């Protein structure tokens, strides 16, 4: 059974601080997605990474796919209260129509 | 662009009553469709998925069922709700296999009393 473990589960930081969220697995994925979800809403796709070692930037967010395509990280620089939410990683494989979701990291950025 | 519609947005139902949640997709045809349930502040539990009309795969044994009567319509049903069915239900659509994204609807908050 493929699993994605996210850490930390919860993070509370002050505005302006940097943070990193991790998504780890013992399995290889052909793609990995990151989503952000706000309370009472559906998750919104932030990025997809497909190549080992790939780095993508979205404003203050930097996403990296591990060289072996088993792990990924999300780094936020100078966090803002608008970054508050639940961050979910999800992995896909060539043999499946399903995504494997991590359990999520709840981020609170205090003004 | 793809838009996923879900209704109702919120629902309060007594134990033992039936359930019908609907999801429709705008945009590219032949989507793969998914029903997830999410406990408060946690990750997503896949309930059902469908790769075509009338094709349903169940991931978790439960008293829920799903149907796909049309290409872009996905329905989640129950004949008799349990308290444990309460939660946030999300419909998602994706295209392809392996390297693809899923797009989510706004969700339905179900409270079983």
Tell me the pLDDT band of B98, cut-offs 50, 70 and 90.
low
Q: Which of A36, A42, A84, A104 to mutate to test the interface with B (most CBs of B within 10 A)?
A: A42
Q: What is the 3-state secondary structure (H, E, C) of chain A?
A: CCCCEEECCEEEEECCCCEEEEEECCCCCCEEEEEEECCCCCCEEEEEECCCCCEEEECCEEEEECCCCCEEEEEECCCCHHHCEEEEEEEECCCCCCEEECCCEEEEEEC
CB A59 within 8 A of CB A77: no
Q: Pairing relation of β-strands B87-94 and A55-58?
A: unpaired
User: Would you call B7 an interface residue with chain A, using a CB distance cutoff of 8 Å?
Assistant: no
Longest dimension (CA), chain B: 41
Facing A92 at nearest CB: one of B42, B100, B106 = B100
With beta carbons less than 8 A apart as the criterion, state whether A46 and A34 touch.
yes
Chain A residues whose CB is inside 8 A of the B103 CB are 45
Report d(CA A67, CA A46) in Å as an integer.
20
Task: Verify whether the Cβ–Cβ distance A88 to B44 is below 8 Å.
Answer: yes
Q: Is B8 on the interface with A (CB under 8 A)?
A: no
Q: Which residue in B39, B58, B100, B108 has the most chain A C-beta atoms within 10 A of its own C-beta, making it the best mutation to test that interface?
A: B100
Instruction: Please give the pLDDT value at position B76.
Output: 97
Q: In whole angstroms, give the CA distance from residue B9 to residue B46.
A: 19
CA distance B22 to B10: 12
CA-only gyration radius of chain A, Å: 13
Q: Judge: B101–A45 Cβ closer than 8 Å, yes or no.
A: yes
Task: Give residue A100's Cα distance to chain centre.
Answer: 13
Instruction: Label residue A94 by pLDDT band (50, 70, 90).
Output: confident
Residue-wise pLDDT for A14-73, tens only, equals 999 999 999 999 999 999 999 999 999 999 999 999 999 999 999 999 999 999 999 999
B53: DSSP letter: T
């Amino acid at each position: 059974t493929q699993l994605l473990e996210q850490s930390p589960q919860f993070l509370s930081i002050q505005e302006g601080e940097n943070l990193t969220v991790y998504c780890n697995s013992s399995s290889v994925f052909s793609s990995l997605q990151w989503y952000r979800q706000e309370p009472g809403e559906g998750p919104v796709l932030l990025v997809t990474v497909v190549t080992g070692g790939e780095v993508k930037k979205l404003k203050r967010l930097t996403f990296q796919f591990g060289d072996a395509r088993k792990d990924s990280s999300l780094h936020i620089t100078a966090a803002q209260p608008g970054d508050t939410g639940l961050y979910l990683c999800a992995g896909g494989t060539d043999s499946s129509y399903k995504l494997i979701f991590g359990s999520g990291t709840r981020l609170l950025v205090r003004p | 662009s793809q838009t996923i519609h879900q209704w109702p947005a919120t629902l309060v139902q007594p134990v033992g009553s039936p359930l019908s949640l609907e999801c429709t997709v705008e945009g590219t045809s032949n989507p793969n469709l998914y029903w997830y349930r999410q406990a408060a502040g946690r990750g997503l539990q896949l309930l059902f998925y469908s790769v075509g009309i009338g094709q349903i795969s169940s991931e978790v044994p439960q008293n829920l069922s799903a149907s796909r009567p049309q290409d872009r319509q996905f329905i989640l049903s129950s004949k008799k709700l349990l308290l444990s069915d309460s939660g946030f239900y999300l419909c998602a659509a994706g295209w392809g296999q392996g390297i693809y994204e899923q797009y989510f609807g706004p969700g339905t908050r179900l409270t079983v009393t």
